[in-house]
């Protein structure tokens, strides 16, 4: 059965990030409502991860977990209890411009909402009973309640400020490791531009870990050539 620990192994196996020291990113597990929040840093102590998971996930093993890092949001989708390459997958969103803050979380006074901040100007708001993503700052979010491999992960984000690079749902692994696939850049003016993942990401080691290969300033120049309509 796939629980959060298994999900984290799945997520981290092809996930690498920019080297920003995770200040005050001590490992801790907090439970509020039916949601478990797990905060931890990677082995190199360069990134802070915060995951949300519902404690009823084990009932039918059809659920979404979320992982917020210093750079992105990853949506983990469990379809059933079969092999990972056919029964689970992920979708990723990268947000720009990036800043120097480390991922943090807070719980509302009435304990109904969890807010997670990443290393960008987008914050994520989760319901503590359902663990669903219910809102964001500087973006509109739509979540399809259906858990399926046919709805592109079921989470859709449109920025009202800044820039989002959306990588499509992929069975069996993180989409940022599939350089043949195409992601979509979206700006706050409703412009969209499809760009091959391999033009934005690079492999960082022989184990297949990946990371965005440009600084924000470099990415602006790249997008000016690839996506002249995108405003960033």
CA distances from 30 to 34, 92, 114, 226 (A): 11, 24, 11, 43
C-beta of residue 105 within 8 angstroms of C-beta of residue 91 = no
pLDDT of residue 44: 67
Residue at 60 is within a domain: yes
Does residue 43 register a pLDDT over 80?
no
Tokens for 81, please give them: 């209890």
Residue at 130 is within a domain: yes
Q: How many distinct structural domains can be found in the chain?
A: 1
Model confidence, pTM: 0.90
Does residue 21 register a pLDDT over 50?
no
pLDDT of residue 101: 72
pLDDT (tens digit per residue) in 114-169:
999 887 889 999 999 999 999 999 999 999 999 999 999 999 999 999 999 999 99
Average pLDDT over residues 193-213: 90
C-beta of residue 69 within 8 angstroms of C-beta of residue 75 = no
The reply to whether omega before 212 is within 30° of 0 (cis) is no
Residue at 152 is within a domain: yes
Question: What are residue 225's DSSP bridge partners?
Answer: none
Which domain, by its residues, includes 38? 4-226
Residue at 232 is within a domain: no
pLDDT of residue 3: 38
pLDDT (tens digit per residue) in 70-109:
889 999 999 998 888 889 999 999 999 988 777 889 999 9
Q: Which helix (H) or strand (E) holds 7?
A: helix 4-12
Residue at 231 is within a domain: no
């Amino acid at each position: 059965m796939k629980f959060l620990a298994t999900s984290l192994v799945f997520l981290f196996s092809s996930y690498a990030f920019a080297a920003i020291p995770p200040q005050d990113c001590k490992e801790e597990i907090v439970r509020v409502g039916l949601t478990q929040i797990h905060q931890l840093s990677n082995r190199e102590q360069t990134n802070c991860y915060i995951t949300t998971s519902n404690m009823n996930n084990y009932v039918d093993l059809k659920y979404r977990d979320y992982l917020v890092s210093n750079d992105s949001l990853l949506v983990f989708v469990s379809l059933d209890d079969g092999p990972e390459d056919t029964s689970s997958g992920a979708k990723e969103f990268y947000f720009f411009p990036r800043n120097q803050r480390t991922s943090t979380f807070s719980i509302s006074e009435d304990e109904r909402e969890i807010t997670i901040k990443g290393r960008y100007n987008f914050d994520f708001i989760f319901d503590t009973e359902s663990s669903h993503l219910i809102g964001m700052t500087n973006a509109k979010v739509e979540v399809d309640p259906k858990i399926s491999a046919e709805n592109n992960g079921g989470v859709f984000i449109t920025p009202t400020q800044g820039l989002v690079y959306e990588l499509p749902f992929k069975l069996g692994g993180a989409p940022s490791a599939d350089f043949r696939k195409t992601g979509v850049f979206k700006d706050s003016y409703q412009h969209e531009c499809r760009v091959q993942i391999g033009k934005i990401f690079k492999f960082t080691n022989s184990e297949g870990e990946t990371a965005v290969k440009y600084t924000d300033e470099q990415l602006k120049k790249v997008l000016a050539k690839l996506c002249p309509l995108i405003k960033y």
